[in-house]
Structure 1
Amino acid sequence: MSKRRVPGPGWPLLAASALAMAVACASSKAGSGDPDGGPVDAAVYDAENPCANVTCDGLAYCDDTGTCQPYPECTPPPDAGVGDDAGVNPEPGTGTCPDGQVCRNGVCLPDDQDFDHDGYPASSDCDETNGMIHPGAPEICNGLDDDCQFGVDNGDPVALCENDPTGSVCENGSCGCLPGTFDLDPTIPNCECVAAPLLEQGTTCADAIDVGDLFDSGQMATVTGNLVPMGRRTWYRFRGGDLPDTTCDNLHVRAWLADNPGDQFRIGVARGACDENLVADLTDYEWATDFRASINGTLSGECPCTAAGGTPQQNVSTCADDSAYYYVVVERTSGVLTCDSYQIELSNGVYDTP
């Protein structure tokens, strides 16, 4: 007589325990093999995105191993540069990329992605590393193509630097003026005032601008400038030459502001030696020997005069050589800075003492 095992009361518990063990075993092996054909059902592993918790900075992407990789460089055309030349804001045609990608910042980017989160995809955004640069952005003076119009600092010249205190002209990516030029009229976007003389000229008495010799035969020279910027002093020097005389010395040195717009300039003159602390409080200066008169009780002047080595005459001076260097400094009186120019006339033997 055959016998058959009949499940007893404990069977359900044994069966449940075996099922749990099988599930546990399967779970322990899930993903332990190739993710596309593991030894067990790998559905859980395949569904997991290796880049789900990966954030790539800059122009990089997450590959199928969960590693950030830089996007490949654009292929430059034969006449295009590489490296830095293929950098920020490349114009259309500066590099080639596969279909669906566009050359931006020197690399090939998916044309439908917005890397800098400015609301514009790479297809229309000329710089995917700067969220302030995109079509329609205001153009500012910074050396960049802010509005993606493929031109640097090409916006409204007034708006580019209207809020910058250093100047209202955009030069080389910054607001201001080129050395030696100044913007004294903020209503017009240009550096209309050119410093005269050059900023490095005549800055001290020792480095005074040399005008040359002016002899008492009636020679004259003029110098001009504008003393921009404020606080500037400019120095000139010349030699007042005294030619040999036998009867009357014609030496009469004069330095005066022949043109002084708005009465805004003053001069100071030192004879014979430099004086860096010379005060400029004059508009006219004279030093002469073409007269004969009593000055403070002393008979002065050399007109008339007798030749050196001749017979002395009563109350007549000897015709001496009174040649000397003259140092002239000009400065601006306090007031509003302008680009107006002064003109200083320097002469010797042109004017006569009354």
Structure 2
Amino acid sequence: MNSNALETKDRREEHEQFYTSRELGRLLLSLLPGKTWVSGKLNVLDLCMGQGALLECVSEIAPQAALFGTDIDPVNIDAVNLNDQLDIDARCIDATTPELRRIYSKKYFDVIVGNPPFKLIHNDKYIKRELESVGYSSRSTYIEAEIYFLLYGLKILKNGGYLAYILPDGIFTKVSLKGLRKFLVSNFCVHSVMEIEPGYFDGTEAKTHLLIIQKDSPTKSVVSLFKDEHPTQVITNYEFEERGDYSFYSKACALKMKTLESLGVEIFRGRNTKKVLLGFGVENYIHTTHISHSGSILKTSSFADDKLVATKGDIVIARVGTRCLGKFGVVESGQFYVSDCVFIIRSDNPKNQRLILNTLSSSFGRNWIKSVSKGVGARHITTTDLYQLPIIVGNNENT
């Protein structure tokens, strides 16, 4: 790799740059109502425009639109200014600083588009103040950059205008961001969310979603969810607060179900990293590499000297890892140390143990775990997710 390529790679990693493809940009804009583009005078802004791909897609639909964009990377600004096909009022600034407010303090936009960086930023006084100015409060030391860009975009959007953003999976799935989702449906018109499978960006396997919001008082109590050619899912605003991803609401559902929680089981998360376990110099430990998607029988004659161990009858299941989710096993003898990538499901009832294993080995169980998983990088499930696992019982036991 030559020096220029290395410099580009380093710069993209520093700013978390994953450029928008034309295909994805056009798809995003297609979700906006057609009437959005008919205005003779139309101001459109991208607060983190990269090299202007989204604004270029806007110019294809609405050549009369006045285009505005900011970006932190001067290389991107140069690329935009050298593009003879685009006429963008481009500013090289860090949009998470007061410089942004100085430039756009008296300007409001008809449409705001964006593919903000997926990273944490320091939640300093300026950012807290800007978030509070739209009614959202966060006391965290760090905050997802995409939350700031989303809410600032809504702040400088005209009443009745539309925001169209590409956002990471966590915005729609994280329990910790339930308050954000509630804020959005309580104060704006959340029109639709389209789920996009990994692979649309070079250099990341991030699962993303396309979000369309109108700056208007909530006039409906439902949100439309889309995914490829799948049937539309319509969920209530309350359901959106809980989760807003298509996969979760489209998962299969067997006729006779109990949840894992209703079986009275206990769930524990492993305590030690794989590195620590290797440092113990023991062989009786369980990591995601020791279990399989078809289920593994785990046997040992050894004991484990730890506060939390997996013992006879315990079911273990992978907690994290896009390729590992759904892997499981059952301890038949002995005791095992357990890595922090694995959950232990403990039940003293042999019948319930069989029901859980049948569910985990079924296509329904595998698809359910995949559908509730979350995360921008490595997918994962939480204890809360796992407790809600529907258990196949009755005639569905062998599904």
Q: Which structure features the higher share of helix residues?
A: 2
Calculate the TM-score normalised by the size of structure 1. Answer: 0.17
Question: Is the radius of gyration larger for structure 1 or structure 2?
Answer: 1
Calculate the TM-score normalised by the size of structure 2. Answer: 0.16
